[in-house]
Amino acid sequence: MDFEFKPLTLDMAASAKADALVVLWPDSPPAACVGSAGAGLLEWVQKVAKTGDLEDGVGKLVSATLGTQCVAGRLVVVRAGDGSAAALRKACLAAAATLRAAHVKKAMLFTGLLNVAPGGFRAASVAFAEATYVYSTTLSKGKTRYLKHLTVVQPESAGIEAELVQAQALVKGIELAKEWANRPANHATPTLLADAASKLDKMKHVRVEVLGPKEVAELGMGAFMAVAQGSYEPLRFIVIRYNGGSKQQAPVALVGKGITFDTGGISIKPAPEMDEMKFDMGGAASVLGAMQAIAELQPSINVVAVIPSCENMPDGRAIKPGDVVTSMSGQTIEILNTDAEGRLILCDALTYVAKLKPSTVIDVATLTGACVIALGHVRTGLFTASQLLAEQLMLAGEAVQDPCWRMPLDDEYGEGLKSNFADMANVAGRPGGAVSAAKFLQKFVGELNWAHLDIAGTAWKSGAAKGSTGRPVGLLVQYVLDEAARVQLAKAGLKAPKQAN
């Protein structure tokens, strides 16, 4: 989906050619507007608002055809509240859903009646893309994405174009993540995922390396190999480097769990909804999408993404409850539950990235059902020992409406990981399961500036809206952009602002 900006008044927008004109209506609408067509639109909206056709509440809307007052085939007026990014996202999701149902191809979005908050234009544009996204890869006739072009209009530019550039990159990254998370497991094997990552190698400052079973064995990734050994599909260890900073600059490391299908292994999952375990590589998909967006935006920073990818299957060679494996770090692990496999592949990936001496490590994983119970489907679970990193990630998430929530990491939560037969067990029981999983990963990061994002509740939706959300691509990209800005300010001897832009 493409975005552009044009400096137009409301009357000019009403006279411009488009399939639809969407007007964002503020809490405090203006009394008048310059231009006869603009004034006519205001009069019409004020009339329907008084009659109750335009209900109160952000996202409430009216849709109509006004003939000579609006050249566009359809006019949609939607309440956008106070102009905050969150309000604009809600309003534009509603408006875009109406346009999708009407098969609109080109739309104009008039924002000139609002005082749009920073990030609002980006939020509005991303919302239009989200509401009109369709998956079609494995459909014989496919589906059509009708809305392909959005023009944001208002009299003054006011930094809109910079936000639209970010929105364009974010949408590309989010939709790449959605594509690979949505694909059925037989169309998204570790090998195919590695092939998709390799395509990023053509982008400026990006280099991709893919390791197979032989190279992974040479590195001593015993935990990762243990999970992969039960599948016919060979594992892949994907490394994506974006070198936008100086050679001396320590990279930000992103690690994504890439279980392309999770049966649970010998500790097999119940059959109902097991099909949704194709989404268990949501962490890998989001890291892949984030790297796509970062490469589009070209920030002055180094980023390395690592994706350990395999299937978790109940083959005759599969790991068994009670088996003990040796991780890349040398620590041994008693596998009490083979369905707690994500942490096994992540622990070796964390050991690998530690050798790269990163400034920060953020791992992303659909790790625990316990996190869904704790936080539902609204906020991603955030685990870190660093107060500063927690604040930075939470601010980044709020800035792009991809929120997370900090969870505890008390040492007592790790007591259940003790084992009589290995250095640790891979599970610690049901109570506090999301925290004990994070405590397991913490054993492999040492003194690194590390955070773990549990996206089990936010990576996909079930039911009629079943599909990937593309989260947390927005959060990851915003954090990297913020970190790039902090690095540049530090070079100039200035202090970074506390709040993310």
> Quick check: 228 pLDDT over 60?
yes
The pLDDT value given to residue 497: 60
pLDDT tens-place string over residues 276-295:
999 999 999 999 999 999 99
- For residues 437-448, give the mean pLDDT: 97
In order of their start, the domains of the chain are 2-158 (3.40.220.10), 171-491 (3.40.630.10)
Side by side, the strands of the sheet bearing 75-79 are: 2-7, 149-154, 106-110, 20-25, 75-79, 61-64
- For residues 373-393, give the mean pLDDT: 98
Residue 72 — very low, low, confident or very high, per pLDDT cuts 50/70/90? confident
The pLDDT value given to residue 35: 46
**Poorest-pLDDT segment among 18-32, 324-338, 368-382, 431-445:** 18-32
| Residues involved in catalysis | 269, 343
The secondary structure element, H or E, covering residue 125 is helix 120-132
- Give the C-alpha distances (Å, rounded to integers) separating 452 from 46, 62, 254, 280, 318: 49, 43, 10, 16, 27
> Quick check: 140 pLDDT over 60?
yes
Higher pLDDT, 120 or 37: 120
How many helices, marked H, and strands, marked E, lie in the chain? 14, 20
Residue 501 — very low, low, confident or very high, per pLDDT cuts 50/70/90? very low
> Quick check: 163 pLDDT over 50?
yes
Is 367:439 a contact under the CB 8 Å cutoff? Answer: no
The pLDDT value given to residue 67: 64
Q: Is 187 left (phi over 0), alpha (psi -120 to 50) or beta?
A: alpha
User: In the chain, how long is the greatest CA-to-CA distance?
Assistant: 81
Residue 232 — very low, low, confident or very high, per pLDDT cuts 50/70/90? very high
Closest among 217, 197, 221 to 209, alpha carbons compared: 197
279-301 exposure pattern, b = at least 16 Cβ within 10 A, e = fewer: bbbbbbbbbbbbbbbbbbbebeb
The pLDDT value given to residue 495: 72
> Quick check: 31 pLDDT over 90?
no
Distance (Å, whole) CA 324 – CA 332: 7
Is 194:210 a contact under the CB 8 Å cutoff? Answer: yes
Is 486:360 a contact under the CB 8 Å cutoff? Answer: no
Q: Which two tokens stand for residue 195?
A: 């092939």
> Quick check: 41 pLDDT over 80?
no
pLDDT tens-place string over residues 294-311:
999 999 999 999 999 999
pLDDT tens-place string over residues 454-488:
999 999 999 999 999 999 999 999 999 999 999 99
> Quick check: 43 pLDDT over 90?
no
Burial (CB < 10 A; 0-12, 13-18, 19+), residue 259, is: buried
The pLDDT value given to residue 496: 66
> Quick check: 498 pLDDT over 90?
no
Higher pLDDT, 92 or 65: 92
Residue 83 — very low, low, confident or very high, per pLDDT cuts 50/70/90? very high
Count of beta carbons in the 10 Å neighbourhood of residue 159: 12
